[in-house]
Structure 1
């Protein structure tokens, strides 16, 4: 499970990487430090990705 503590602890790397959760949800951590919530799914035999927005650190 992806928790708030894990998301806050995620640090940027030279290349983008994913922190995965259940049901194909994941957080994409960008090299500049941005964190984007995404969902991967299949429709009509093709893989698609839906973006839910940026993770806002407070």
Structure 2
């Protein structure tokens, strides 16, 4: 089930970090201290990797989805989004 702005805004921290999934690998990682990070889980060359998109609320849900789509296009072209981000 996809996330909504309300669900993201009202996400409460717990004792352990919690992943709230949006779909197609995108999720919001909510840390115990209350910080919220957008991340994308993906596989590249047979390895599981994580692409950090940004911090909520600086990066909105719509922005995170757009960046996810851009990263997926890079993957389809055979380019690792994390390597592209650092170069």
Superposed pair shares fold, TM > 0.5:
yes
Q: Relative CO higher for 1 or 2, CA cutoff 8 Å, sep ≥ 6?
A: 1
Task: Select the structure of larger CA radius of gyration.
Answer: 2
Extract unaligned runs of 5+ from structure 1: none
Paired residues, what number?
Answer: 57
Q: Deviations over 1:18-51 (max 9, x none)?
A: 0001101000000000000000000010000000
Q: With the length of structure 2 as denominator, give the TM-score of the two structures.
A: 0.63
1:6 alignment counterpart: 7
Whichever structure has more helix as a proportion of its residues is 2
Extract unaligned runs of 5+ from structure 2: 59-87
Q: With the length of structure 1 as denominator, give the TM-score of the two structures.
A: 0.93
Whichever structure has more strand as a proportion of its residues is 1
Root-mean-square deviation over aligned CA pairs: 1.1
